[in-house]
């Protein structure tokens, strides 16, 4: 499939998801609408990354505006009563369907006067709400929601079960940072942090957290890998430190359980200088789920 055909397939799936969310919104089903608005906006932001090649700079600016509108509508449904939040009305939001179609047709304009929704008020209100909300990313993590399906594409969920470590109970506020990188170590999407580990013993730290890889396997370049960096808090230095790391290579992406060797820090994203953490074997335990 060529780049243009691939782009059209992706945008078409976004447009269908958008129409489903708007319908739920109109039918008075905010929970379902919020879920799709949230997942769709995060996928749009992911594709605005500078290194993304599927969309040009003009199209990325449009994607950012659409994502902003979706975030505004989502917050309206979540917080309108408690935060006096008056974001983008549904009747205005529905105009974005024509913008998705224009992206497919290649006729979209980035002129502010031609974008169908006024994002000025939405921007200021989102900033105000952000200032009012205090979220601890260290405790809660920065995991992204399950991406919306794309026709003919394979998506991956990685469940991080546990990691084996000597004296595991000594590590404070431990979490995993997950990133997807190409063969040169360049990030291919935003990294994600798990919440702090749920349980630990003398020999293992338990996470039991699902991480949704945000890009379809077919959309990633040959030779990519998924990295897992085990991090913890050091009170004496008042800083976060990486203890060890592991990675999955492309040919290991199969449904089921997977046990990975653990390597000494720092993480070598090029995978050229690997040193095991210790003589005694320690492992990271995962479960992979592939779905369409």
What CATH code is carried by the domain that includes residue 226? 2.60.40.150
- Is pLDDT above 90 for 12? yes
pLDDT value of residue 80: 62
Whether the ω angle into residue 59 lies within 30 degrees of 0, i.e. cis, is: no
Q: What is the DSSP letter of 138?
A: H
- 189 and 287 part of one domain: yes
Tens of pLDDT, residue by residue over 187-218, are 998 899 999 998 988 899 999 999 999 999 99
- 14 and 84 part of one domain: yes
Name the percent of the chain lying above pLDDT 70: 87
What does the block give as tokens for 71?
A: 């975030």
Domain boundary at 85, 107, 132, which?
Answer: 132
Answer yes or no: are the C-beta atoms of 175 and 119 closer than 8 Å. Answer: no
- 116 and 242 part of one domain: no
Q: What is the DSSP letter of 265?
A: S
- 182 and 273 part of one domain: yes
- 146 and 287 part of one domain: yes
Coil/strand/helix, residue 186: coil
- 128 and 145 part of one domain: no
Average pLDDT, rounded, for the chain: 86
- 201 and 127 part of one domain: no
Q: Is the pTM of this model over 0.95?
A: no
- 128 and 141 part of one domain: no
* CA distance linking residue 106 with residue 79, whole number of Å: 36
Average pLDDT over residues 61-89: 80
* CA distance linking residue 157 with residue 143, whole number of Å: 12
- Is pLDDT above 90 for 15? yes
* Predicted confidence band of residue 125 (pLDDT cuts 50, 70, 90): low
- 94 and 75 part of one domain: yes
Domain boundary at 106, 132, 158, which?
Answer: 132
* Predicted confidence band of residue 252 (pLDDT cuts 50, 70, 90): very high
Total domain count, the chain: 2
Tens of pLDDT, residue by residue over 76-113, are 888 765 555 667 889 999 999 999 998 888 776 656 56
Coil/strand/helix, residue 71: helix
What does the block give as tokens for 284?
A: 């990271």
pLDDT value of residue 134: 39
- Is pLDDT above 50 for 36? yes
pLDDT value of residue 175: 95
* Predicted confidence band of residue 273 (pLDDT cuts 50, 70, 90): confident
pLDDT value of residue 135: 41
What does the block give as tokens for 25?
A: 């919104």
Long-range pairs for 77-82: beta carbons < 8 A, 24 or more residues apart: 77/25, 77/30, 77/33, 77/34, 77/37, 78/30, 78/34, 79/129
Tens of pLDDT, residue by residue over 132-155, are 543 444 567 889 999 988 888 999
Domain that holds residue 31: 3-132
pLDDT value of residue 51: 72
* CA distance linking residue 207 with residue 209, whole number of Å: 5
- 88 and 117 part of one domain: yes
- 124 and 233 part of one domain: no
* Predicted confidence band of residue 6 (pLDDT cuts 50, 70, 90): confident
């Amino acid at each position: 499939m060529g780049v243009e055909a691939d782009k059209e397939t992706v945008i078409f799936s976004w447009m269908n998801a958008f129409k489903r969310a708007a319908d739920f919104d109109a039918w008075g089903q905010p929970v379902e609408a919020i879920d799709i608005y949230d997942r769709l906006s995060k996928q749009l932001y992911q594709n605005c990354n500078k290194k993304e090649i599927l969309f040009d700079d003009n199209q990325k600016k449009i994607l950012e505006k659409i994502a902003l509108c979706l975030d505004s509508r989502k917050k309206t449904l979540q917080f309108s009563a408690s935060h006096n939040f008056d974001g983008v009305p549904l009747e205005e939001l529905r105009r974005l369907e024509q913008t998705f179609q224009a992206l497919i047709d290649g006729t979209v304009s980035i002129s502010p006067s031609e974008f169908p929704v006024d994002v000025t008020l939405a921007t200021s209100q989102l900033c105000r709400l952000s200032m009012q909300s205090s979220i601890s990313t260290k405790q809660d993590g920065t995991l992204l929601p399950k991406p919306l399906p794309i026709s003919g594409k394979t998506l991956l969920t990685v469940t991080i079960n546990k990691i084996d470590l000597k004296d595991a109970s000594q590590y404070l506020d431990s979490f995993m940072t997950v990133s997807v990188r190409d063969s040169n170590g360049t990030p291919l999407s935003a990294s994600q942090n798990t919440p702090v580990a749920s349980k630990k013993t003398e020999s293992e730290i338990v996470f039991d957290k699902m991480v949704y890889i945000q890009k379809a396997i077919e959309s990633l370049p040959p030779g990519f890998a998924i990295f897992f960096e085990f991090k913890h808090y050091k009170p004496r230095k008042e800083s976060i430190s990486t203890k060890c790391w592991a990675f999955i290579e492309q040919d290991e992406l199969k449904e089921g359980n997977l046990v990975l060797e653990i390597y000494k820090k720092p993480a070598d994203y090029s995978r050229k200088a690997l040193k095991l953490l210790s003589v005694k074997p320690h492992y990271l335990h995962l479960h992979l789920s592939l779905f369409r």
